[in-house]
Structure 1
Amino acid sequence: MIAASWANSRIVIPLDLVLSQPSDKNEDHRVVFARKRRERMRARLLKATFEVYTGDRGINDPAVIDDVIKAAEVSRATFYKYFTSLEAAAAELGHELADEMVLELDTIQSPITDPLKRASVGIQFFLWRAVDEPNWGAFVARSKHVVSETSAFMRRVTGDIDSGARTGELNFARLDAAVTFNNGALMNGIGAISNGVDRPAEFIEALTNMILIGFGGKREDVIDVQKWGSEFLRKNAPSHYPWWRTHR
């Protein structure tokens, strides 16, 4: 996977969609050229989809295909060569973002084994990214595909919450209810931040504590874990993520 900078947000496109190399060294150069041209057009359409969905649109002005083809400066026929509908383009973009979210979190979260600490770091990681990249946050918060059952993000969240319950660190009655609670709070939090909240650091601290308490954590333990996660990110994130602002 590689990252492309789109409207102040990094969107990951599969490597084979952007910089494919011929699998056969003897492959006709015309075939290679045509494939790369298709890859560039697909990336262009996804970029336009992202821009349209994260634009300043009112509730009564939903995105339509005409908006995307205008932003991409292509014909309607060209759009339909790559996607059957605007929803299909948004779905692909949503799944790419879900994959990216997991890959980015793995980079920094993998050494952590304690379930509450993992949750603390993960929650604050995504909320702070929405602060630094509001366009990213706007798309993630609106995209149902990021939290669809088949997305990498959902598989990761479900697995982490289930593991925490099995070790006794997290306490709740139903796994599906816990996952729904987490995703609802997190995605709404990302959306709120993208729209602008006063004192985002306080907002992130409060929301993280509430989510962790909702998972069955004791208040005194949760406060310590939230602070631990915040400090962990402050020390480690700047060297891993270009979007992380060092002034935090």
Structure 2
Amino acid sequence: MSDAILAAIDEVVLKIDDPLQRLSTGCLLYMHIGVDLPNWGAFVMRTGFRSQAVGKLVDVYMPRDLESARKAGELDYSSRRAARDLMFASVNQAVLTVIAGDAPREHLRQILALGLRGVGATPALAKAMSQLELPAVQLPDLGLDCAGR
């Protein structure tokens, strides 16, 4: 299911030329979908580090956009794997925190800004990326209603 959602997100973000904007939009969409479908989001985020529940496409799309943004001079990190792990962990934990009711939805954008700073974006650029308007995504039919059941 996660790969199906990631593929739907990637279809939208591939229309964006700027790699950091593509990465940021993809992370924001994934987090918002995880919160909008809380049962799915909680399951995927809690099992993602221990199983293939998070899907394999996260290791295609996120590194692709991280590396493109680094080559474009928008990010500065020494290890693509470390950058991927930082962003992945931040995205996962942000979803769990919001689903649990421990933070408002704005927390997703705050985490994105901090994660981007962690992989070398300037504070101004990280803030701008965290405030992007989100495009619509046509999600695949996963047999889930809007409450994630």
- TM-score per shorter chain, which class? 0.7 to 0.9
Q: Is the 8 A contact 1:208 1:226 kept in 2?
A: yes
Of 98, 101, 106, the match for 2:10: 106
Partner amino acid, structure 1, of 2:17? T
- Equivalent residue, structure 2, for 1:166: 71
Ranges in structure 2 where 5+ consecutive residues have no aligned partner: none
- Equivalent residue, structure 1, for 2:31: 127
Partner amino acid, structure 2, of 1:203? H
Give the length in aligned residue pairs.
139
Deviation at 1:193, TM superposition (A): 2.2
Identity %: 26
Give, in whole Å, the separation in 2 of the partners of 1:114 and 1:215.
16
Q: Is the 8 A contact 2:6 2:58 kept in 1?
A: yes
Of 177, 189, 207, the match for 2:94: 189
Q: Is the 8 A contact 1:146 1:154 kept in 2?
A: no
Give, in whole Å, the separation in 2 of the partners of 1:146 and 1:114.
29
- Cα 1:108/1:226, change in 2 over 3 Å: same
Give, in whole Å, the separation in 2 of the partners of 1:140 and 1:190.
10
Q: Is the 8 A contact 2:24 2:112 kept in 1?
A: yes
Partner amino acid, structure 2, of 1:98? S
Q: Is the 8 A contact 2:110 2:130 kept in 1?
A: no
Correspondence 1:21-36 to 2 at 5 A: none
Say if 2:138 is the partner of 1:240: yes
- Equivalent residue, structure 2, for 1:153: 58
TM-score between both structures, scaled by the size of structure 1: 0.51
Provide the secondary structure at the position in 2 that maps to 1:113.
coil
Deviation at 1:241, TM superposition (A): 4.5
User: Which has the bigger relative contact order, CA under 8 A and spacing at least 6?
Assistant: 2
Of 175, 200, 219, the match for 2:80: 175
The two structures, once aligned, show a CA RMSD in angstroms of 2.2
Deviation at 1:207, TM superposition (A): 0.7
Provide the secondary structure at the position in 2 that maps to 1:208.
helix
Deviation at 1:183, TM superposition (A): 1.1
Provide the secondary structure at the position in 2 that maps to 1:168.
coil
Ranges in structure 1 where 5+ consecutive residues have no aligned partner: 1-96
- Cα 1:165/1:198, change in 2 over 3 Å: closer
